[in-house]
Structure 1
Amino acid sequence: MAGLLEQATNYVSEKVASIPKPEATVTDVDLKGVNLSSVTYNAKVNVSNPYSTPIPIGEIRYVLKSSGSEIASSTIPDPGSLKGSGDTMLDVEIKVPHSVLISLAKDIAVDWDIDYELLVYLVVDIPLIGDISIPVSSKGEIKLPSLSDYFGK
């Protein structure tokens, strides 16, 4: 009897593993805005939904790292849903306090940008399967704002 239960469990695990899941990529990270307390960046995340029905997104979690240190992290609750049978572009707003930017002075002084690693986790609710987390990562450089960004051009 234990062997039959193990076979059934393996069968179900294989079937669930072979079910197509949404896939995501970070397409761009760019400066969105500057204020007295922080710099805001916008990450564009393209998510491809293989199902014909929309899929609700429970939350988006992100972690922004530079030089091995976490410089920003947050959770965006209930950001909407993914379009059925297509791509959905999500905007992930990332706020970095000025105090954190000061701690990265060595990296910034060289070329006036931040070498970053962005980790984004989309938590979606797929019917019959439940919540799954779609991890997405991206590495690159983010330009820092100049004085003209603060005072207009």
Structure 2
Amino acid sequence: MTFSAADCRGVTFPHEDPLVIVATIANHDVPRTLVDGGNGANILFRKAYNQIKLKPKHLMLVPYPVSGFNGASTYPDGKVLLPVTIGRAEAARNVMTEFLVIDAPSLYNVIMGRPMIHDIQEIVSTYHQMMMYVLDVGYPERIEGSQKEA
């Protein structure tokens, strides 16, 4: 899997934008999904959890705190295992993903961390505003990010 100059079409330069995509989680399109290889967990923010119409009874206890980049710790509301689809139709990758549900303000609805990045065998290029991933059938595919949403 490689990126080329053609993958930069439509990207506004110069930029330092993060990669933000739309993911399908529990059969709901979830915009403002931040792809963050520096995050050791997948995070679903409580506001998005509620918008997907999931109930508190779906949450499993998380007995440990998580730390933010400022060093502050918070306990998640819980964790939940949900189906996630990246891409559409023949270009789809489907995985079951564990999310920590966090009740905190965020510009994003979801943070896709290393666990999901590894599960879908994803390669990220914030420069190209694109990621490549391996389809359910084993072939590579691309998905573009949204600089507007970033």
Q: Which has the higher strand share?
A: 1
Name the one with the larger helix percent.
1
TM-score, reference length from structure 2: 0.30
